[in-house]
Structure 1
Amino acid sequence: MSASGRGQRELRVRVKTAKGRKISSTRWLERQLNDPYVIRARKEGFRGRAAYKIMELDDRFRFLVPGARVVDLGCAPGGWCQMAVHRTNALGTRQGKKQGYVLGVDLQEVEPIPGTELHVLDFLEEDADDKVKAWLGGGADVVMSDMAAAASGHPQTDHLRIVGLVEAALMFALDVLEPGGTFVAKVLAGGAEATVLNLLKKNFTKVYHMKPPSSRKDSSEKFVVAMGFKGASSAPEEPVERE
């Protein structure tokens, strides 16, 4: 407690605009340095604030259970894998709990993550699903994706890229998930597109949309969580529940 009787508050970091740096870049850097989730991630050893998005989604829907086999598509830099390792007990450190398995794939090499098996792989390759199932020794309980398509600066093009990426991740998940499994992916603020949404409702018993608290307020991202993969069944469609 300070002499004035008020608790100490954290100082805000201000960044001066360097020569050759755009004002927008300076603002982004300043926001990063002052973002409470970035600060928390640094303190707790996570590779970025995104780790808290999957944590908050799992707090709500409970799919990263001990013993679960998880595939993280486009896993770099690794924050989602780190959280999955902790929640599924992939390191086997929680006695009395089943030990999970976390597999991360990306187009680029990722620094090793304790408890995670990492592979350089384009999940769009024709035999990518077979490779993943071989590495897993079977199907997955969870397929998750925080991937975002590279921005082109053309809104319509970027929209189509994002939709296409989500649909491709879903088609991959349908090939590798075990019955009862869960699919989690980043979508746009309005939720999954009609084509993707119809596929989700056809193949999963429950479909939810949620914007986790750690997503920035000005971000257009939202996440779809589809639970209860039906496998080869074609049960009647269920309504979508939104958070």
Structure 2
Amino acid sequence: MWTCLYLQVRGIHSSTRLLKKAPVRVKGKSGAEQRWITRQINDPFVKAAHLQHFRCRSAFKLLEIDDKYHLLKPGISVIDCGAAPGAWSQVAVQRVNSAGERPDSTRGHVFGVDLLHVVPLPGANFLSNRDITSPATHTELQKLLPEAYADVILSDMAPNATGHRELDHERLVYMCLSLLELAEKLLRPGGSLLCKYWDGALTHKLREGLSRAFQDVKTVKPNASRKESAEFYFLARTFRKTWI
């Protein structure tokens, strides 16, 4: 199924090389805003997300990572941090069978958390307008999770960009580090964490923190991450619950 998805993305990508649209001129938009709109129009993953009814192109990042590393399996419980608009939760719902669409597979659970409102999704339980770093949110999740533990924590969250690259990098690193407290409370021993970061001076600090808590930490950059972007992911596996 997902092989077909990637073939469609490649096909769209090939056609956009031939039919790439000229820069858009939108009245009242700055040059940077016009470049962003043009990039979105010509992005094959944006087109594929529309065709496959994903809420945004980031779904293909998780699909690619999961196809390679097999994080999401039927029957497991997943926490999606910074879930809005819900594309990663869509992938998780399909892969862990939380909507029960595959009666021959065990049914899993997906819980999404975001400061923003997230449009409901069958198979996902969204905690909208919640702070994933808040102890109150942790307690709420603990009550909802089967056996009070998750098997996988996903994080595609990011702070609102200030335009200062190193400041944005630093803020995201500390957001990722806060997930270690969440893991200590709610991640099952042996579980996994996947988190986005922007590369910079504190990348080593994040890797070191993850390496203390997890047996294996890998750097991942899926094809759906734009080549020019500083965006990467850390995939941390085999959680050691007594790491502190």
Question: Following the alignment from structure 1 to structure 2, what is the Cα–Cα distance between the partners of residues 203 and 115?
Answer: 30
More off after superposition, 56-65 vs 69-78: 56-65
Partner of 1:58: 66
Partner of 1:128: 137
2:170–2:202 CA contact under 8 A, matched in 1 = no
Bigger CA radius of gyration: 1
After the TM superposition, which segments of 4 or more aligned residues of structure 1 sit over 6 Å from their partners? none
1:191–1:223 CA contact under 8 A, matched in 2 = no
Q: Note if 1:108 corresponds to 2:111.
A: no
Q: Paired residue for 2:40, among 10, 15, 32?
A: 32
2:59–2:91 CA contact under 8 A, matched in 1 = yes
Query: Which segments of 5 or more consecutive residues in structure 1 lack a partner in the other structure?
Result: 1-7, 235-243
Alignment of 1:1-243 (within 5 A): 9=15, 11-120=19-128, 121-137=130-146, 138-189=148-199, 193-232=203-242
Between structures 1 and 2, the one with greater helix share: 2
Q: Aligned-pair RMSD on alpha carbons?
A: 1.9
Tell me by how many angstroms 1:191 deviates: 9.5
Question: Following the alignment from structure 1 to structure 2, what is the Cα–Cα distance between the partners of residues 209 and 151?
Answer: 22
Q: One-letter code of the match for 1:123?
A: I
Question: Following the alignment from structure 2 to structure 1, what is the Cα–Cα distance between the partners of residues 86 and 202?
Answer: 24
Normalising by structure 1, report the TM-score. Answer: 0.87
Tell me by how many angstroms 1:27 deviates: 1.4
Question: Following the alignment from structure 1 to structure 2, what is the Cα–Cα distance between the partners of residues 124 and 219?
Answer: 26
Question: Following the alignment from structure 2 to structure 1, what is the Cα–Cα distance between the partners of residues 186 and 88?
Answer: 19
Query: Which segments of 5 or more consecutive residues in structure 2 lack a partner in the other structure?
Result: 1-13
